Amino acid sequence: MALKKVKGYKRLTKGQQELLERVYEKHMRAVEDESKWEIKSVIWERSYLRVSFKNGEWLHYSINGNWY
């Protein structure tokens, strides 16, 4: 997925962009159907990334590399 085209990506700092890329890659390795987890938008929320997906769900991507 071209993360640079995700709504909100350009507003993230370089470090936040790298966090998104790292955790998204890890997240995609852990799921069976990657197509269900296409990112719609991303926003920085104080200490985590709020990542919204086209399937209607959203997850926290934390600075320690986890998602929930």
**What pLDDT shows up at residue 26?**
97
Pick out the chain residues at pLDDT < 50. none
pLDDT in tens, 30-48: 999 999 999 999 999 999 9
Q: Identify whether the C-beta of residue 39 lies closer than 8 Å to the C-beta of residue 3.
A: yes
Alpha-carbon span 14 to 59, nearest angstrom: 20
